[in-house]
């Protein structure tokens, strides 16, 4: 299949490769922070944040089961 | 505990003392809450800060499009994490007030989470504190920004954290890889501008 597609190609003009498009990272500049003030830096460790998220998801699941 | 604005990254890059004060305040808090006290090698911490500043400069000149308004918080934190993982800035670790007479930095979470964090601190030392700091700062930026469509959800898992720590503690650690991991972990769609 691929071979037949190759042989059917009617391309007659080579395409110059764009070497610049993937040369640099996107600007990905600073985020827009309204008022410039950051949210308080959490003093919870990652384990604690993950634990809280998991417990909330489990509680949400139980709520949904009760409502369903 | 840390009262920051959007210029904090530039402030830390410009001044070792400003960075040291905020970074150590955070690290001591986390550590004491888990019952540990880290002895800091300030000379090595300064070396780590210097490497961070130099690498940020290289990235800005080499990897980022010229119309950028500065390296993103993800890039800066990825470079910091790798810079601090590359120096043993925590010299020793000791039990903090084992008799429980001082109540500083109370741990928020379950007893099991505290115990697991203690084990992480003991194994990861300075790299673990740097990881916690980088995540806390990135989260603060992500919670505060208003240019994303979806609400911020912290999606790190214990499994990913473990693998990241293994990678950071290895000699193969690389800031570009850590940046891409952060980028994936915090990916959200950009809000469309209304004209």
Range with the poorest average pLDDT among A34-43, B102-111, B128-137, B158-167: B102-111
Which parts of B88-174 fold into alpha helices (H)?
111-144, 158-168
In the predicted structure, residue A68 carries a pLDDT above the cut 80: no
Q: Which two structure tokens, joined as six digits, stand for B151?
A: 């609400």
Q: How many residues does chain A have?
A: 68
| B154 found inside a domain | yes
CB contact under 8 A, B144 and A39: yes
CA distance A38 to chain B (A): 5
In the predicted structure, residue A3 carries a pLDDT above the cut 70: no
Instruction: Determine the average pLDDT of the residues in A21-43.
Output: 88
Helix axes B175-185, B158-168, angle to 10 degrees: 170
| B45 found inside a domain | yes
Structural domain span for residue B143: 8-98+107-185
| B90 found inside a domain | yes
| B68 found inside a domain | yes
Our measurement of the distance from residue A38's CA atom to the centroid of its chain's CA atoms, rounded to an integer in Å, reads 22
| B191 found inside a domain | no
pLDDT single digits (tens) B143-187: 999 999 999 999 999 999 999 999 999 999 999 999 999 999 999
Our measurement of the distance from residue A27's CA atom to the centroid of its chain's CA atoms, rounded to an integer in Å, reads 16
| Euclidean distance between CA atoms A51 and B138, whole angstroms | 19
Residues forming beta bridges with residue B93, ordered by sequence position: B38
| B195 found inside a domain | no
In the predicted structure, residue B195 carries a pLDDT above the cut 60: no
Q: Are B135 and A48 in contact (CB under 8 A)?
A: no
- First CA to last CA distance, chain B: 39
Q: Are B182 and B135 in contact (CB under 8 A)?
A: no
Q: Which residues on chain B are in Cβ contact (under 8 Å) with A52?
A: 109
pLDDT single digits (tens) B71-124: 999 999 999 999 999 999 999 999 987 666 666 778 999 999 999 999 999 999
Structural domain count, chain B: 1
Question: In chain B, positions 58-77, which contact chain A (CB-CB < 8 Å)?
Answer: 63-65, 67-70, 72-75
| B49 found inside a domain | yes
| B147 found inside a domain | yes
CB contact under 8 A, B144 and A50: no
| Euclidean distance between CA atoms A30 and B70, whole angstroms | 7
Q: Which residues on chain A are in Cβ contact (under 8 Å) with B147?
A: 31-32
């Amino acid at each position: 299949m691929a071979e037949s597609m190759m042989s059917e190609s009617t391309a007659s003009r080579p395409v110059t490769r764009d070497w610049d498009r993937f040369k640099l990272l996107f600007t990905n500049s600073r985020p827009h922070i309204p008022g410039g003030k950051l949210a308080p830096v959490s003093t919870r460790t990652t384990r604690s944040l993950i634990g809280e998220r998991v417990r909330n998801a489990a509680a949400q699941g139980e709520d949904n089961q009760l409502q369903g | 505990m840390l009262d920051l604005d959007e210029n904090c990254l530039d402030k830390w890059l410009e001044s070792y003392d400003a960075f040291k004060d905020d970074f150590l305040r955070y690290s001591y808090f986390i550590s004491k809450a888990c019952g540990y006290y880290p002895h800091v090698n300030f000379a090595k911490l300064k070396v780590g800060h210097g490497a961070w500043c130099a690498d940020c400069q290289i990235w800005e000149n080499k990897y980022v499009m010229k119309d950028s308004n500065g390296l993103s918080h993800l890039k800066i934190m990825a470079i910091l994490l790798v810079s601090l993982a590359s120096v043993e800035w925590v010299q020793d670790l000791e039990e903090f007030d084992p008799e429980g007479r001082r109540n500083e930095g109370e741990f928020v979470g379950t007893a099991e989470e505290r115990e697991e964090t203690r084990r992480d601190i003991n194994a990861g030392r300075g790299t673990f504190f740097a990881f916690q700091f980088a995540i806390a700062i990135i989260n603060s930026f992500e919670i505060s920004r208003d240019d994303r469509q979806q609400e911020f959800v912290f999606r790190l898992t214990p499994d990913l954290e473990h693998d990241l720590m293994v990678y950071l503690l290895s000699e193969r650690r690389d800031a570009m890889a850590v940046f891409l991991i952060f980028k994936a972990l915090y990916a959200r769609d950009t809000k469309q501008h209304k004209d």
